[in-house]
Structure 1
């Protein structure tokens, strides 16, 4: 098997900023370093972590790798690159203990500073530590790489994690006691507004100058994959706008005006947890600059005359994913998501009136379509 290609974090991203690594990558690196010492007597100051796609890896510095009475432990300082969030600079630690049977599946435990899930609606069951599925898979893979199996009990903690978590949505999500261990790619892409929007403006102008039938805006991977794989949109017509919805639309409107090239269609594709925030007037959808979108979904449901109990449940849901689950079996569930898409499309079109039509396609986290509409 070809070994993963190492991604060099010292090389800047296309927007000139420095990438970082997620809390999931940090925990995986700490686990791998602890296992290398425990099983091989190999004391490392940095380790290679295989990223979720299996094709790339990261070299992550580790600290304080040590044996314990029941196994081993290690620390990693989380580096968010030039896009620091609340966990940038936090020290994550991992303790690992072999299970009695190596064939047992890996078990995960919340140490001090890592939260526990207390309410439904996110991708981790109630009662489990707030370690998301992708980081769990990364740690299982790291264990197999070192030990050939995953029969270990893994405890993940974070120094001052409970205080850090108060700066995040975790208390609102019912995640108590600390931070979450997150990440879907293992890498933090630098998304600061000034630098990122400079690159987005270039991408938008290139797209408009090519005189396409449509340009696609997407916050992230879901919409990008839909545009590439389902719609067969050429890469130069896809703009990944991250959280900067309003600024990306402003750049598009400016490009259309400056170039004089009409754009027949703007397609905006992504998860409603991001896109529906514009219905609350939040045009930068980063959690530090916006609220959550469940109330917007509930307002659409109320306008469609769904029963009061369902509307209230939507408004009080912990996440938009919980709203997706609530509406999955409802007779008017599809109508709600179509209504959300229609209102989002109208809001976006209002900010970029030079575009002929704006179409919005909403997707669940598993890639399944929720609803489409245009304005």
Structure 2
């Protein structure tokens, strides 16, 4: 990534560092010693290698540590020591993940990991399992403890305390790679994507907030790669450029939390710009047909995802109402009769949970909210 002539370095997620440390520890535990460099395979097929900052072995355990390099991203965990400690586990039980010092425990619902589990997200768990399998094959009965010594202090600079992750950081990452957060560079890359789509004569582009959403919207509309815009958090940056460089059909696609923030008027949906208002979401749920008890539960929900889960449990089509309000916010940025706008809301599994269909974006004032209904 290049910004004003300066190339920004990409870095590695805590999930990547944990997987590399776990592989090194597994090698030592199996009597093969600690490697000088340990290589792992990322979800996208990349094979980075890491040097160890720590290697310790004792009775029944092996421990390896890697210093996290977040590149040029202003990541609070840049420079942190990520440690994996491996011990033999109960036969036939596979991997058991444990939270060591500085790694949090999940205490509330609505997160990718259920309450009572270490805050090690699904993809990092898969990466750790794959890294260990490269060494141990089908012998996967291990206890894997991940620790980040300064994690509890660093976690105070994150949203973890508010989300009910106590005792430290989360081990995160979906690609294994940290992409530097540069507003200017990212927005310019979106613009170039629009330019390419227009040059190829495409009549439909889709901006997505993340990888899961991008895959889901591509499958939903059977779109070519060049129609996909890595919008990230910059909904406004994409839409304002499209207003001057129109494409006949535009889809804005995102997860429940970011589309809720768009519905509440935020065109920049990054977490640093603020959290979604759960009280406002409860009012939307009431408009969608929620009773007072459900609205109260949504107000007290741990996260937007949790709120959607509560609504779904009662068959309430909350996503359609969020999509309609998000459509209105996005349409105000476009305001063009040349552009038909659609908003799609997906959950973490890429399942469609809300939609506002293609409508000319200059019809902001005339577009009604969905009637009270229940999504099946």
TM range (shorter): 0.7 to 0.9
- Bigger CA drift: 232-241 or 295-304? 295-304
Structure 1 residue 111 displacement after superposition = 0.9
Q: Displacement of 1:350 after TM fit?
A: 0.4
More displaced 10-residue stretch of structure 1: 152-161 or 92-101? 92-101
Q: Which has the higher mean CA deviation after the structures are superposed, 170-179 or 90-99?
A: 90-99
The 1:285–1:37 alpha-carbon spacing in structure 2 relative to 1, beyond 3 Å, is same
CA separation in 2, counterparts of 1:190 and 1:128? Answer: 29
**Correspondence list, 1:178-217, <5 A:** 178-217=168-207
For residues 123 and 296 of structure 1, the distance between their equivalents in structure 2, rounded to whole angstroms, comes to 23
Verify the 8 A CA contact 1:82 1:192 in the aligned structure 2. Answer: no
Alignment of 1:1-375 (within 5 A): 16-52=7-43, 55-101=45-91, 103-148=92-137, 149-256=139-246, 263-292=247-276, 294-331=278-315, 333-334=316-317, 336-354=318-336, 356-374=339-357, 375=359
> Offset of 1:359 from its aligned partner?
0.6
TM-score (ref. length: structure 2): 0.87
1:28 and 1:22 map into 2 onto residues whose CA distance is 10
Match in the other structure for 1:6: none
Preserved contact between residue 267 and residue 330 of structure 2 (Cα < 8 Å): no
Equivalent residue, structure 2, for 1:259: none
Structure 1 length-normalised TM: 0.88
Report if aligned partners of 2:66, 2:81 keep a CA contact under 8 Å in 1: yes
- Check whether the contact 1:120–1:322 (CA below 8 A) recurs between aligned residues: yes
Q: 1:175 to 1:75 in 2, by over 3 A?
A: same
RMSD of aligned Cα (Å): 2.2
1:279 and 1:296 in contact (8 A); partners too = no
Aligned residue number for residue 8 of structure 1: none
User: What is the SS of the residue equivalent to 1:75?
Assistant: strand
- May I ask how many residue pairs the two structures share in their alignment? 354
Contact 2:93–2:141, Cα closer than 8 Å, also in 1: yes
- In structure 1, stretches of 5+ residues that fail to align are 1-10, 257-262
Cα distance change on mapping 1:268 and 1:138 into 2, 3 Å: same
Q: Any gaps of 5 or more consecutive residues in structure 2?
A: 360-376
Secondary structure in structure 1 of the residue aligned to 2:348: coil
Task: Quote the offset at 1:193 in angstroms.
Answer: 0.7
The structural deviation recorded for 1:211 is 4.1
